[in-house]
Amino acid sequence: MIDGSGVVTAAFDNPLAPATASAPERFRSLLFDSGGDDDGEIMRTAALRRTAMKESYHHADRTIIAELALHGPFYQAPDWPYFRRDHPERAEQACPKVRSRCANMDSRRASRLRNPVARLYGEYIWGYIAAIRRAPLSGADRQECYRALAQRLASRARPGTAARPSEPQLRSVPRALISVDAVVAGRADRSS
């Protein structure tokens, strides 16, 4: 995470298990653990074309990453290929409501009549179901993924379990300790 001047203010601790060989384990990890910005990573075009692509319903970025994980493991580079700039106009902050976030991606989503919040949540759940249906999984793996999704939905339905995996766990980094120029190869050379 960087601020407006390019100073790294927090580093992600990514607890996900995207590299495991087990598709149900990768899927479960994406459902229950806080992830990073996996949709900002490098991905194979052929794998992306096998998905439903990114829609404009609530947390559609999560469903496309989950679908990609069902198609195969991810390789996580040890360096930081992506920096998320934190600012007040960032979608999660500027559009705190479900409909406003969806309308930010597609202005047609602003209509309360055509896109009630229940529909936006329903499309989100259906996104996971459809991803499992499309994925090249064995019958046993498919059932395990459906079971994980049902467990996730049940955990959200119980009172007092409103926690959701929306933001990754962040480690504080002392301000001004690390700049983007210090961690991106070749950037420090430009200032000389």
Give residue 79's pLDDT: 67
Query: What pLDDT, on the 0 to 100 scale, is given for residue 24?
Result: 95
CB atoms within 10 A of CB 134: 14
Q: How many CB atoms lie within 10 A of CB 36?
A: 21
Q: Name residues whose C-beta falls within 8 Å of residue 137's C-beta, 6 or more positions apart in sequence.
A: 23, 70, 145
Taking the C-alpha atoms of residue 63 and residue 53, their distance in angstroms, rounded to an integer, is: 9
Position 111 scores a pLDDT of: 83
Residue 39 confidence (pLDDT): 58
Residue 21, both tokens: 């060989």
pTM reported for the whole predicted model: 0.71
Please tell me the predicted confidence (pLDDT) of residue 167. 45
Q: Give the pLDDT confidence score for residue 164 in this predicted structure.
A: 46
At CA 125, angle to CA 101 and CA 170, rounded to 5? Answer: 55
DSSP 58-98: TTHHHHHHHHHHHHSPPPPPSS----PBP-TTSHHHH--SH
Predicted pLDDT of residue 177: 54
Residues 70, 131 contacting (CB under 8 angstroms): yes
The pLDDT value given to residue 63: 86
pLDDT at 181: 65
Contact 103, 95 (CB under 8 A): yes
Reduced to 3 states (helix: H, G, I; strand: E, B; else coil), residue 56 is: coil
Please write the tens of the pLDDT for every residue from 161-174. 554 444 444 455 55
pLDDT at residue 33, rounded to an integer: 67
The two tokens of residue 181 are 């120029």
Q: How far apart are CA 180 and CA 97, in angstroms?
A: 31
Q: What is the pLDDT of residue 44?
A: 78
Q: Which of 125, 102, 29, 59 is nearest to 133 (CA)?
A: 125
Q: pLDDT tens digits, the chain, 192 residues: what are they?
A: 788 777 887 776 655 666 788 999 989 988 876 555 565 566 778 887 888 777 777 777 788 888 888 988 877 766 666 777 777 777 677 777 888 888 877 788 878 888 788 888 888 899 999 999 999 999 999 999 999 999 999 988 876 655 444 444 445 555 445 666 666 655 655 544
What is the structure's pLDDT at 176? 47
Residue 72 confidence (pLDDT): 86
